[in-house]
Amino acid sequence: MESITVGLAERSYQIFFGAGTLEGIGIACASLSLGKQAAVVTNPLVGSLYFQPVQRALVEAGFQVHRIDIPDGEEYKNLDTLKLIYDRLIEEGLDRGAFIVALGGGVVGDVAGYAAASYLRGISFVQVPTTLLAQVDSSVGGKTGVNHEKGKNLIGAFYQPLMVMVDVATLSTLSDREYLCGLAEVIKYGVVLDRQLFDFLESHAERLLARDTECLLKVIRSCCSLKAGVVAQDERETGLRAVLNYGHTFGHAVESLTGYGRFKHGEAVAIGMVQAAKISEAMGYGQRGETERIVALVKSLGLPTELPEFRAEEYAEALMHDKKVKSGGINFVFNKGIGDFLIARVTDLSFLLKTCGIGG
List of residues contacting ligand GLY (CB under 6 A):
137, 141, 143, 237, 241, 244
Catalytic choice (77, 88, 185, 335): 185
Bridging pattern class, strands 329-335 and 151-158: unpaired
Task: Output the smallest distance, CB 74 to ligand GLY, in A.
Answer: 15
Are 162 and 213 contacting, i.e. CB atoms less than 8 angstroms apart? Answer: no
Is 150 annotated in the active site? no
Tell me how crowded residue 237 is: count the other CB atoms within 10 A of its CB: 16
Nearest approach in angstroms of CB 52 to ligand GLY is: 30
Task: Examine residue 106 and tell whether it contacts ligand NAD (CB under 6 A).
Answer: yes
Residues 6+ positions from 331 with CB-CB distance below 8 Å: 242, 324, 325, 343, 344, 345
* 245 is known as an active-site residue: yes
69 scored as a contact of ligand NAD (CB under 6 A)? no
Q: Which of 208, 167, 192, 194 lies closest to 303 in space, CA to CA? A: 208
Is 211 labeled as catalytic in the residue annotation? Answer: no
Catalytic site includes residue 288: no
- Has 185 been annotated as catalytic? yes
Q: Does 81 bind ligand NAD (CB under 6 A)?
A: no
Residue of the chain from 22, 51, 110, 263 that contacts ligand NAD (CB under 6 A): 110
Q: Alpha helices of 34-166 — where are they, by DSSP H? A: 44-60, 79-91, 106-118, 132-133
- Beta strands at 143-148 and 151-158: parallel, antiparallel or unpaired: antiparallel
The answer to whether residue 234 forms part of the interface with ligand NAD (CB under 6 A) is: no
Torsion angle, alpha carbons of 158, 164, 167, 171, to 10: 0
In contact, 167 and 53? CB cutoff 8 Å? no
Does the active-site annotation cover 241? yes
The single residue among 134, 201, 205, 226 that binds ligand NAD, judged by CB under 6 A, is: 134
Q: Which stretch binds ligand NAD (CB under 6 A): 15-23, 88-96, 133-141, 269-277?
A: 133-141
Alpha helix (H) residue ranges in the chain: 25-30, 44-60, 79-91, 106-118, 132-133, 176-193, 195-203, 205-209, 213-233, 248-257, 265-282, 290-300, 312-320, 349-355
DSSP bridge partners of 100: 39, 125
Q: Which of 341, 348, 349, 139 is nearest to 242 (CA)?
A: 341
Residue 43 touches which of ligand NAD, ligand GLY, none (CB < 5 to 8 A by kind)?
A: ligand NAD
Touching ligand NAD, residues 244-273 (CB under 6 A): 265
Contact partner, 28, from ligand GLY, ligand NAD, none, Cβ < 5-8 Å per class: none
> Which residue type does 329 have?
G
Please give the radius of gyration of the chain, using alpha carbons only, rounded to the nearest integer.
20
CB under 5 to 8 A by kind: which of ligand NAD, ligand GLY, none does 235 bind? none
User: Coil, strand, or helix at residue 262?
Assistant: coil
- Residue 227 appears among annotated catalytic residues: yes
| 255 has catalytic annotation | no
Residue number, nearest CB to ligand NAD: 106
Determine which residue in the list 34, 41, 54, 174 makes contact with ligand NAD, applying CB under 6 A: 174
Min separation Cβ 234 and ligand GLY, Å: 9
Per the annotation, the verdict on 204 as an active-site residue is: no
Which region, judged by CB under 6 A, interacts with ligand NAD, from 92-100, 135-143, 202-210, 231-239? 135-143
Neighbours of 18 (CB within 10 A): 18
Of the candidates 188, 227, 264, 278, the residue annotated as catalytic is 227
| Cβ neighbourhood burial of 254 (10 Å; 0-12, 13-18, 19+) | buried
Instruction: Work out how close the CB of 284 gets to ligand NAD at its nearest, in angstroms, rounded to a whole number.
Output: 30
- Residues with catalytic function: 121, 143, 185, 227, 237, 241, 245, 248, 252, 265
Which residues in this chain contact ligand NAD in the complex, by CB under 6 A? 43, 45-46, 49, 72, 74, 77, 104-108, 110, 130-131, 133-134, 137-138, 141, 143, 153, 170, 173-174, 178, 181, 265
